Amino acid sequence: MKRKNADYAGKKGDEPFANFTRCEARGGCSTEQGFLVRMTDKMSRLSSFVDAGVFEVKDESLEDTIVDIINYAVLFQCYVQSKKSESKE
């Protein structure tokens, strides 16, 4: 999760939510909705797999897709917690 997130996390990996906050910065949707959009993308991929029984793109396995959903959920929880911490300061 850390290695994969580093590819999206901004300068030197010091912005762990950058992939999601960029959605809001560009006016597309809120950061929270950005998390949900990415999770929905992965759920759609799983739904297609259940219907077809196979992935057409071979470079991401069923396990990869499930792990991505878990990682997005963990990052979302961390983001929510960080926002709560900021509001208490």
Task: Give yes or no for residue 23 having a pLDDT over 90.
Answer: no
Which DSSP category does 16 fall into?
T
Query: What was the pLDDT predicted at 20?
Result: 83
Query: What was the pLDDT predicted at 10?
Result: 62
Q: With beta carbons less than 8 A apart as the criterion, state whether 9 and 16 touch.
A: yes
E runs forming strands in the chain: none
Task: Give yes or no for residue 39 having a pLDDT over 90.
Answer: yes
| Tokens linked to 62 | 């069923």
**C-alpha to C-alpha distance for 26 and 47, rounded to whole angstroms:** 29
Query: Count of CB atoms within 10 A of residue 81's CB?
Result: 10
Residue of higher predicted confidence among 89 and 29? 29
- Which residues are CB-neighbours of 43 under 8 A, at least 6 positions away? 69
Full-model pTM: 0.79
